[in-house]
Amino acid sequence: MKKLFLVLFVLTLFTGVYAQEMENEAELFYINVPIVRVYDHIDAYVVHYQKGNMAVGQVFVPKEWFNTREVNKSRVRPLAKGLNPYMTVIYANGEFQKVFLNMPTNRSHSAWKILSHNIDVASRMNTETLEIEY
């Protein structure tokens, strides 16, 4: 009887510790969307991506997310051979964390375009979060 009580006590103790660890972990999830084209602007990358209903969506990704180590919200990753460009958006507990643009390293690839610096993208950019419609 004492052994049973001891086993139940130890199991209860470990269950409590495990439940507490689970509460501290963030709920991470990601969304991958195919990229149609990325327009390189002096202030941002303007990304045209394919939505689930075959429509094209657009997001503005501030370049400051790529340039500073403090922010570290974005990165352009080299695309593996044989894959089409895609964007990965990572969320933790429902809030935006990071975005990765998986693009060809060759800037003459048809997925890369240059956007004129005369076009104002700052008014359409959100520098705090990234919300995509899928």
Q: In this predicted structure, what is the pLDDT of residue 17?
A: 47
What percent of the chain clears pLDDT 90, i.e. is strictly above it?
Answer: 51
Q: Tokens representing 129? A: 């979060």
Domains within the chain, CATH numbers bracketed: 28-124 (2.40.50)
pLDDT tens by residue, 21-43: 445 577 999 999 999 999 999 99
Q: How far apart are CA 103 and CA 86, in angstroms?
A: 7
Residue 64 has pLDDT above 80, yes or no: yes
Q: How distant, in Å, are the alpha carbons of 4, 44, 91, 127 from that of 38?
A: 64, 10, 22, 18
Q: How far apart are CA 124 and CA 107, in angstroms?
A: 25
Identity of residue 12: T
Q: How far apart are CA 63 and CA 109, in angstroms?
A: 20
CB proximity list for 55: less than 8 A, separation 6 or greater:
none
